[in-house]
């Protein structure tokens, strides 16, 4: 990857959130050794915010009927299938697998 590498955010409460961490960890391609992204080494406060958001979301999820939950999961499956090539390319890049193996993982 040329130029600067992205700093990936945390995902908390269905939103991308910058971490409070000052330290980061490089994500490297096992194939080339190049740094392809940076991830924050999240702070205890970041983790606490994620846990609080998950606890809040759980109530609404638990209140759904089995049929409603299944509908969400089927929608997720449909979206994953629609983006399987793109997801497989990410697996190839991040794990060094070949495309056929990556598609099997997706």
Give the gyration radius of the chain's Cα atoms: 17
Residue 25 near residue 39 (C-beta atoms within 8 A): yes
**Mean pLDDT, range 43-59, rounded to an integer:** 96
Long-range pairs for 31-39 at CB < 8 Å and ≥24 separation?
Answer: 31/93, 31/96, 34/1, 35/1, 35/5, 36/1, 36/5, 36/93, 36/94, 37/5, 37/6, 37/7, 37/8, 38/5, 38/6, 38/7, 38/8, 39/7, 39/8
Residue 43 near residue 21 (C-beta atoms within 8 A): yes
pLDDT tens, position by position, 65-89: 999 999 999 999 999 999 999 999 9
In this prediction, residue 3 carries a pLDDT of 61
Asked if the model's pLDDT at residue 1 lies above 70, the reply is no
In this prediction, residue 32 carries a pLDDT of 85
Provide the whole-model pTM: 0.73
């Amino acid at each position: 990857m040329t130029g600067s590498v992205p700093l990936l955010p945390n995902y908390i409460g269905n939103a991308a959130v910058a971490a409070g961490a000052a330290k980061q960890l490089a994500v490297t391609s096992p194939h080339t050794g190049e740094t392809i992204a940076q991830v924050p080494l999240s702070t205890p406060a970041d983790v606490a915010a994620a846990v609080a958001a998950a606890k809040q979301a759980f109530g609404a999820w638990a209140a759904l009927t089995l049929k409603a939950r299944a509908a969400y999961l089927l929608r997720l499956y449909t979206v994953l299938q629609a983006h399987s090539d793109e997801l497989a390319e990410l697996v190839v890049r991040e794990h060094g697998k070949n495309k056929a193996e990556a598609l099997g993982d997706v």
